[in-house]
Amino acid sequence: MGIKRLIATSATLLLGLMSLNAAATHLTVELKAGNKYSFLLADKPVITFAGGALVVNGDAETSYSIEGVKNFHFTEGDASGVETLSSGDIRIISLDDATIQVQNLEQKSLVTLVNVSGVVFSSVSADAEGSATVSLPQAKGVYILTAGGKSFKVIKK
């Protein structure tokens, strides 16, 4: 009887986890400083830890290393619902291996991509909706994306 109970409990737990994952649409990362970042689960991000930082790999070409993480969790929400973010929360979306879109910025705020030597590869202003699309260089490497007074490490593999 113990084996049947174990199998039934395992099956119930598995079904519960599957239904929980079906409802979640975003990975939300909260920082100790109070900022929140959201990654679309449809992009199938891979989450790892390296050197004390949470690393979110958006696809085979881009990676985001985030330090000072308080916690991360899975949330429901409309992928196009930028208005559900509170002010100051920035959303970074990897569109493909050549572009990143930054959302929920103030209109005309500057978004800059530089390499670790300080060479500027891209500098764009946010549009009226608070979005900016940044082109990534073709070369593999580590880049710094600065947006809304915050900086993010972008690793292109």
Which pLDDT does position 79 carry in this prediction? 39
Residue 141's domain spans which residues?
24-156
Per residue in 25-60, pLDDT tens?
777 888 888 888 777 777 777 888 778 787 887 766
Model confidence at 112, pLDDT cuts 50, 70, 90, reads very high
pLDDT of 60 reads 60
Is 98 part of a structural domain of the chain? yes
Helix (H) or strand (E) holding 8: helix 2-23
CB 121 within 8 A of CB 112: no
Query: CB count, 10 Å around CB of 63?
Result: 21
Residue 146 lies inside a defined structural domain of this protein = yes
Are 136 and 98 contacting, i.e. CB atoms less than 8 angstroms apart? yes
pLDDT at position 125: 94
Q: Are strands 99-103 and 141-147 parallel, antiparallel or unpaired?
A: unpaired
**What is the distance between the alpha carbons of residues 9 and 81, in angstroms, rounded to a whole number?**
37
Domain count, the chain: 1
Average pLDDT over the chain, rounded to whole?
76
- Examine residue 5 and state whether it is found in any structural domain, yes or no: no
Edge-to-edge, what's the strand order for the sheet holding 36-40?
36-40, 26-31, 69-75
Which of residues 9 and 154 earns the better pLDDT score? 154
Residue 128 lies in a domain: yes
pLDDT at residue 42, rounded to an integer:
72
> Is pLDDT above 50 for 3?
yes
